[in-house]
Every structure is written in structure tokens, then in C-alpha cells.
Structure 1
């Protein structure tokens, strides 16, 4: 099912003949993380509106052609094929790493520039590609920062409650490889085989001092958190969610006070600059609530693509050739792309990375615990 046209689509007055199209991939229906998808799209649409309010692309209106991926790699690949046929100048977006990987593979095969907003999986493509760039930090960077936080907080016996997924397996490997030389141990708990109560027993048996929730939300994450919080044997066990589940309002809604004090990775600077502060206010109004870092990722994606298209035209090959020449002030800092060892796409290396949690004394407030 396709998403409804974005406001930018609905407002175009020239039938699309004179517009510059950007294809947008976002999860807007289950089993995708719908709240993340809406935040990503809010940022994308805000930036798109600002582009059109400032003259569009060389006088031509920017048109966002939105497609719902629903966290389905096959659906995303099919959407890339469709968007390529529709003549989009570039692709933007996607939140889920496995889905972005499928989209990136098709974009690379078709010669279609793709600026990935939020997916962190290191191996976004099997081979190095000139067609794909990424704003979010690679998982190997962010999750090493998280592993350093764990060690600094005194945790060396880490249990991982994980569901089967390339993304979760990759994250577990990053944490294990980083902790092992420093005396840390990672214990894997298969959530296909264990109930939340069994997870609690395993934490006691393995003498784990921290539990990482590498699982979907709301379930089984909510049930695991509630079980651990209510088990007096585990009063000193820290729970963590490096993938960022506690960032979103649905986490606080479903868990209340139980959802506080669970550290996660957040890709926002400690303080927003003037542009970031203005974007934050606009996003808050658009979302009727606090914007997540994902909304800022969406805004920065279109800001970068608009700059590229204005500077180098709408030819797809010229867009791909321009990645190493990008120098754009985004909402979270200056954005430039480079080649990073072990990463197959053009990468923004300046993404701010922090470990934060919801303050137990005030769950609506975020505390910075560690900077990477």
C-alpha cells in the first residue's frame, strides 16, 4: 500500500511536469516502527517546504514522492524500482537498517543516488558504491561508544536479550568485540526461546549486571522491562536499549516510570545551534510534541539533497559524483561525506553521538550520560 501523497505532492500546481522529484522511503505501517517513520517524514517534509519557500531547485518546485516500506525489504526494493521509473532525481530516507540495505542495493544497481537518513548497519551495500551516502553513524561507531559507556559505568558482564536479525546480530558482535579485550563478557539470550521470567532467571544465573534490549517495541521489550523491574533479585541490574527505543513517546506511554533510566544512543548534539533550535521549534509544532533525533535526520537529508541539486543539477550521475564535495550546514552540525574504512558508502563522520536516558525523576527529560 502506498502512503498518501505528501503535502508537497498535493500542493504542486504544474502537474509535476516542471518539478524536481525526490523519492522518499519511510515505514508508515506495521510491522514498521511507525512512530519513527512519522518523525522521519516530518523532518523531510519540513525541509522540503523550506526548499520550496526559498525558490525550489533552480526555480523548479521540489516534489516528494513518498512510499511506505512497512519494514519490508522486498517492498522497499520494489518501491525503488517504481521511483526510478517515475524519474526521481534521488532517493531519501528509511529508518530500518535491513530495509535500507535492500533499498541501497537496488539504488546501486539502477544508478540512482540514495541519501540514507537513519539506518546504521555498516554493510549497507555488499560492495563499495558511489551511489549511496549516509547521515547516521555506522553501527560499529555508535555501538562502540555504547560499549565504552558500559565499561565506564562498571559493567563487564553484559546479557543481551535478542531476536533474530542481521541488525541485532551485528550490534551484539560490535559490543562483544569491543568488550572482550577489556575483560568484558557478553551472554546471549535467545528471545525466541525465553519468556521474560526466564530472562530474569538467566540474569541471576549468569551474574549479569546489565541487560541490553535488542528486541522490538512494544513487544517483547515492554514485557521484559516490566519483568526485570519487578524482580527484587535484579534491583541493581541496568537495562539498556542502544537502538534508541526510549527516544520515542510511545516508550514512555507504554512503560511510564519503568521506562526511565534505560540508556540508549541518540544522534543529537549536546546543544543545538541557531538552525537546529529553529528546526526543533518547527518540528515540535508539526509533531505536536518533542521531535526525536530521527526527525532531525529527515530534515538534514533534504537539506543536503537540495544543496546538491541546486549546485550540480538533477542528473543522477552528477549527484553521485558530488558526495565528496558536499559541505552543508545541517540542523546538527556541518555535513561532509568521506570514505571510512570498512564502510561501503559515503559517510558523514561528524554525526554527534551521545548515550542518554530518560531522567527517573522527570521521565520527559533526557540526561546525557556519555559522549562519543
Structure 2
């Protein structure tokens, strides 16, 4: 009596177990994965965990510091921390890195002793603005405007320009006062690096099996090509998802809206798994597969790098396959947004993941059929 054939699910599970066993025996990729996880975790914890949006401004003489401080309170969005100094020499020392007469400041305003009287009588006044070498050029211009505004306030003159609505109009999402620290901004980049590492590992495994004709031998058994391809896709997604999740646990980043975060991770894992199928079936050896993998994956890292800088991403960056995944990771982990709020990004990520996975499926199926 012949034994019954195993089910399709059992065949797929057997191939997945074989692939995971082979991966665990590959010392190179096990070492690279371990080193990558440790290195990315160390980089994450070394990043600053807070953003200081306050500019420390020194004013000499100290008697005028209260006036500038009042201006800062009236326009709290300016973010000025005003410190008074008795002399211009002490102010200069503070701007250069700190002195005995007071703490260090980023910008210094040196006003003449008779500043109030001269401004009130409409006389010309010379104000010296000192800035440190690390102060951005836009902040230097803003401090010049602060000095002029201070003169207007003290003279009692009305400003010749009125802003509509009393404030500037911000186009896009205003993050003033709610900026992400560098540690938060670098998180999706590190997670995606882990996914990339596992993608390259799967691509290397597939390339080796193509060269050794292992894949052709598998389809001679009761397993079909669809079983083989399903198992390879599951192996890649499982490796990428598990390692990405492990990094989130190590860095205590499993925060915010966890279901949305896990969905974004899963879509990213499917995306890189599809790329692994594509590059693994195209490469002829280890170096060729590695080169193709890096060539495919470098463009996908651009949206992650763009997240390190404030502002909206360019239109061409937003159409890259990894953009939706990375935006969903940031929205879920850093801002606590749910699946509904992140639906546009998740739908885009799902569409790209399905398209790339289908392309990788087709490429590997063609390779196995013609081998």
C-alpha cells in the first residue's frame, strides 16, 4: 500500500525548515546578521534622544535683557532664552564658549549704554551681533531682525508691515515645537538596514541553490514550483521580519501604535523578500548576487535617509517602493498613528510589495523551469 502524498502546506513547511537550517549553518551570514544587529543597536542608543529648539541669546548690558526676554514671551514660538551680561567683553567670551561672568550662549547682542535714550530720540544706534561659528546662517539673519524689532518696541513706533492672520502660514505639516530627535529619525533607517541584510542573505542562499541545481532537484519531488516559490518567499519574509522585530525589541522601539508598526514591518519584509527572489535568481555567484542586491537596495534607502532631514520629501522620492513602509514606521512608532491614519502609506507599501514580490516570483520560476 503506497503512502499518501504530503499536503501542500507540509511540503512548503519542509522547504522552509530546510532553508532556515541552511541559513543557521552559514557562518558568514549568521556573523553578519549578529554584527549588524549589535552595531545598529549601539548606533541607536548613541543618537541624541531630545531636540533643543531654544536659542540662548546673551545681551549686554544686563539691564536690557529683560526687554528682550519680554519679546521672547510675547512670541513664544521664537524660542529665545535670554541671558544678561554686564560687559561686552563678558558677552564675547560667552559666545566663544563660556566665560567667568556667565554661561555660554549661541548669539550675543551688544547694545550701547544709552540704547533706550537714543532709540527714543530717533538717533542712529549701532548694535553688534556676535554669533558662534556653528550658528546656522538663517539664525544669524533672524538675530539681526530681533535687534531691529527691539528698537521698534523701545521707540514705540508701529511696525510698517502687518502679517495676514498675525502669523506666517505654514504649508505642510508644521513640526515647530514637536520635532523628532535624531534617535527617532534614524530608527526606520536602521530597521530597513536589517531588512536589507536578511534580503541579501536569502538572495545568496537562492543563488547557491541555483548553481548547485538544488532547486531543480526539489521540484522533481512531489513539491511543485509553486510550493518552492511560496517557501522561499515565506523564508525571506520570516527572516527579515524576525530580525527587524528583534532590533525593535533591543532598542525598546516597539512603541506607539504596535499593530500599525507590525503591519509596516511585515510589508517591508515582503518587499525585501521579493527583491531577494529577483536578485538571487539573476546572480551567477556570491559576488554577482551581492552586487545586484546592493544595486537594487540602494535606491530603496533614499527615503530613509530623507527622513533624517526636516521638510517634505521630493515627489520622486515619494514614488520609491520603500517610501510608504518608512513613513508608516515613523508614523506608527514616533507619532502613535493607527492603521486608519496610515492607510495611504500602507496601501502604497502593499501595492509595491505585491508588485516586487510577483516580479521576483516570476524571475525565480523562470530560472527553475529553464535550469
Normalised by the shorter chain, which TM-score bucket?
Answer: under 0.3
Give the TM-score normalised by the residue count of structure 2: 0.22
Higher strand share: 1
Give the TM-score normalised by the residue count of structure 1: 0.22
